[in-house]
Amino acid sequence: MLRRGMVLMLACAGVIGGLWLAQGLSQQGPRERARPGAEARQPRGRQRTAEAQRRRDERMREQLGATEAEWTKVLKPRIDKVQTLQRQMRGGFRGRRPRRAEGAAEGAARPEQSDVEKKTAALRNLLDDEASGAAAIKAALGALRKAREKTQKELDAARKKLQEVVTVRQEAQLVLTGVLD
């Protein structure tokens, strides 16, 4: 009797252990799930950025309830223009110096800088140089403000062009996402 109980207990333990092992082996890690049958390697640099941008665009298209044609031909170009001008208003980067893209060579070309970005960099360089005089800093600050005013006018015009083609619901969604004011 004791022997039969022991065998039954060992059989149950074996079955439970086998099920536990099978469950553990059937679960794949995040890399295998993301790209079945492909190399378990994450995209780098621009590929990662492009994929993230594609996902953001798709999410925004869905939020706006736009058809693929409406999104591609009408909304996306205008939204991109507004977002580009918004980035330029911030000087291209948020208070930090721009870093070289991951995997980019030391001498790799960067995208063309806007006027605001150039004026921001010039002012930052003057501030970094302890020998810079007040007159030079004041002139650079004035040039930056003038460039920002020009970009703000362009941004206002781009927002107006976008507002002309969206519904009230889409406009509200764009206000919530920060594209429109």
Q: What are the tens digits of pLDDT across the range 106-146? A: 445 556 888 999 999 999 999 999 999 999 999 999 999 99
* pLDDT for position 110: 58
pTM higher than 0.75, yes or no? no
Phi, psi of 102 (to 5 degrees): -60, 130
Count of residues in the chain? 181
**How confident is the model over 30-57, as pLDDT tens digits?**
544 445 544 445 456 777 888 998 999 9
Task: Give per-residue pLDDT as tens, 56-98.
Answer: 999 999 999 999 999 999 999 999 999 999 988 887 554 444 4
The CA–CA distances, whole Å, from 105 to 51, 96, 100 equal 21, 20, 8
b/e sequence 31-45, b meaning 16+ C-beta within 10 Å: eeeeeeeeeeeeeee
Cα(161)–Cα(163) distance, rounded to whole angstroms? 6
